[in-house]
Amino acid sequence: MTRYGILGFGHHAIKRLVPAFPDAKDSQLVGLWRRDPAKAKANAAEHSIPEVFATAEDLCASPNIDAVFIASPDALHLSDVLLAARHGKAVLCEKPLGMSVDEVEQMLSAAKSAGILLGVAQNMRYYRSLDVISKWISEGRIGKPQLVNSQFAYSAERSPREWIYDPALACGGPIGDVGVHCIDALRFALEAEVSAVNTLARKDAESGAVESHAVLGLEFDSGAMGSVTLTTRAEYRTVIEITGECGVITCENGLTVDYDVDVVLRRGGEVIATERVSNADAYTRMLDGFSGWVNGRASYLAPASDGLENQRVLDAAYTSWRSGARQAVV
């Protein structure tokens, strides 16, 4: 059993992580740290978490903690990963891993020097919707993928994460926040890397220094081309669509855990196959996947070395937006 401490306990931990632990077979939540001691104590009492640590270092140093789950704002990931690494703890860090490729490379170097395992919480790699999409592509049901699209829309006005518009804390607006999920989902399903990005984006009065809307044009090394479309000014919606030489796979709201979704295969406009799946156990599967890696029993689907590739795409996307030009991913 891998014993976890959550560093940066807040809304995401309460909504997604805490509910994932009870059904886990190899993962146990035993401690937390957050900046506000009163809130930390209240959270621990409400969710029956045994230990509240006075400092982040106390959590990382504790002999009762095997793995640190970092759920702090983006800009704090680097310092938090380095802290956990100094104490020899395995680390599962929220996405995006860092504010830049340079930060992620520092994390990877520290993890290697400390001899620890470092993963990124790309929980969607454990979605059953993506399992089906990936399986159908690998089986050749649509031929070679030609066009791909992923969309993520949500309303940031109702988000309890107050820091998401602060460029000192957030990697960016929806590109860094949820666009990284869309990029990762397409990379994972296609088993291909993004080779270049073209970005259109805009800010608005509420988003301030970061973007509120974005469209990313993506070129893949497989020859496929695609788009990621994002907004923080709409009702929740996610989409995955893969158009191949002889068929199309679509999944409306395929990146949600809140209700069942249908993965649909069409050829010539006719529905050939439909599979209804639930992604509700994705966070639990992710935690146990990481625990299996820590305990040497299995590999983890989203090691930080792979998260570096997502960060390369994010860096290229923001460079493209600033320059107004196509940007190669390097």
Q: Is the pLDDT of residue 125 over 90?
A: yes
CA distance 27 to 4: 7
Q: Which CATH number belongs to the domain containing residue 263 in this structure?
A: 3.30.360.10
Task: Check whether residue 232 and residue 117 sit in a common domain.
Answer: no
pTM reported for the whole predicted model: 0.96
pLDDT score of 161: 76
User: Is 293 within the bounds of a domain?
Assistant: no
Cα torsion angle, 260, 227, 73, 51, sign: positive
**Interval 240-268: pLDDT, tens:** 999 999 999 999 999 999 999 999 999 99
Same domain, 146 and 265: yes
139 and 116 in a single domain? The answer is no
- pLDDT value at position 163? 84
What is the residue range of 155's domain? 127-279+311-328
Total domains, the chain: 2
Same domain for 321 and 179: yes
Higher pLDDT residue, 161 or 211? 211
Which residue, 121, 149, 179, sits at the end of a domain?
Answer: 121
Residue 308 contacts residue 180 (beta carbons within 8 Å): no
Looking at 92, 121, 150, which one is the last position of a domain?
A: 121
pLDDT of residue 164: 85
CA atoms within 13 A on the CB side of 22: 6
- Based on the domain organization, do 16 and 112 belong to the same domain? yes
Which of 121, 151, 177 terminates a domain? The answer is 121
pLDDT higher than threshold 80 for residue 159: no
Same domain for 86 and 163?
no
Give 20-50 pLDDT, tens digit per residue.
999 999 999 999 999 999 999 999 999 999 9
Output the six-digit token pair for 88: 């020899």
Residues 116 and 137 in one domain: no
304-323 and 101-114 helices, crossing angle to 10°: 160
Residues 63 and 193 in one domain: no
**Residue 146 included in any domain:** yes
Q: How far apart are the first and last CA of the chain?
A: 39
Tell me: do 91 and 179 sit in the same domain. Answer: no
Tens-digit pLDDT profile for residues 103-117:
999 999 999 999 999
pLDDT at 237 exceeding the cut of 90: yes
Is 113 in the same domain as 136?
no
pLDDT of 300 > 80? The answer is: yes
Asked if 44 and 158 sit in the same domain, the reply is no
Domain co-membership, 167 together with 275: yes
CATH number of the domain within which 30 lies: 3.40.50.720
List C-alpha distances in Å: 182 to 115, 239, 254. 31, 9, 10
Separation between Cα atoms, residue 46 and residue 24, nearest integer Å:
19
